[in-house]
Structure 1
Amino acid sequence: MEYTIQTSVSGEFDAVVDATIAALEDEGFGVLCDIDVKATFEKKLGDEFRQYRILGACDPALAQEGLAEEIELGALLPCNLIVYEADDGDIVVSAVAPDQLMGIPDNDALTPIAAEVTDRFKRVLAAVRDDLESVSGS
């Protein structure tokens, strides 16, 4: 089962994170949390790990609409996007597939909200890819 939508780009890790946050903001999402997994593993476990960030994104209007339909939906919010360094050196930006996430509550009223978030996340991924391709000149 596919549970993410993603793109892969060449570039500097922090620049990809910044481009992802900017693209989310352009689509009306705020980043409520930014978890640096690499730094956390180093600090808490003393272990090395690849560059890996989890961004918790939320559009308050869509969240309110969803919670009005399904009060327990808050357990699935915010929607997460991850940015990580792949084995081949590219940077992957991956978002939860909202249609899969919203399928958990089995509430048809959430279908249009999931479709809206999916469309926006696809535009975010395209914007990140386009932004970094224009910077790298490829």
Structure 2
Amino acid sequence: MADYTLSITTERPYEETVTAVREQLAEAGFGVLTEIDLRATLKAKLDVDVPPQVILGACRPQLAHQALQAEPSIAALLPCNVVVRSVGETTTVVEAFDPAMMTSFVEAPSDALRAVSEDARTRLLVALAAVGA
């Protein structure tokens, strides 16, 4: 796991994992605002083949609003990107940008921003744990 992501590896096929991630993000109060199919995009733009991989732009509007009130420039780090990547027929990696990293980009992060990042981090960890269970 990279220092800037939260990650799990699950013994589930890719498509099943994508569905589980969507369900668990919703359970945690996140909606998926954007979806980038990296496999299709790289094939179309570069004619290269990569394993199935999708980036889901997840957002919990309440947390986004609180973060923006604390630090307007934090918008550049929104939404929370969650990547689902196939690493075999029955193995899939799920990684999310660690919201705790938001505070590392701000010179003097406020308590409000810290609280938002901790809340988002906790919600994502619960969602990832449920996907990995």
Q: RMSD over aligned Cα, in angstroms? A: 1.5
Work out the CA distance in 2 between the residues paired with 1:18 and 1:88: 16
TM-score (structure 1 length as normaliser): 0.88
AA at the equivalent of 2:14: F
Corresponding residue of 2:131: 128
In structure 2, stretches of 5+ residues that fail to align are none
Corresponding residue of 1:136: none
| Aligned 8 A contact 2:33 2:57 in 1 | yes
| Aligned 8 A contact 2:56 2:82 in 1 | yes
Specify the SS of the correspondent of 1:40. helix
In structure 1, stretches of 5+ residues that fail to align are 131-138
Q: Which runs of 4+ in 1 moved over 4 A?
A: none
Corresponding residue of 2:12: 11
Question: How many corresponding residue pairs?
Answer: 130
Work out the CA distance in 2 between the residues paired with 1:96 and 1:124: 13
Specify the SS of the correspondent of 1:86. strand
Structure 1 residues 11 and 87: CA distance shift in structure 2, 3 A: closer
Work out the CA distance in 2 between the residues paired with 1:99 and 1:117: 8
Amino-acid identity (%): 33
Work out the CA distance in 2 between the residues paired with 1:58 and 1:44: 27
Higher mean alpha-carbon deviation, 5-14 vs 97-106, is at: 97-106
Written as runs of structure 1 = structure 2, the 5 A alignment for 1:1-138 is 2-86=3-87, 90-106=91-107, 107-109=109-111, 110-130=113-133
Work out the CA distance in 2 between the residues paired with 1:129 and 1:5: 12
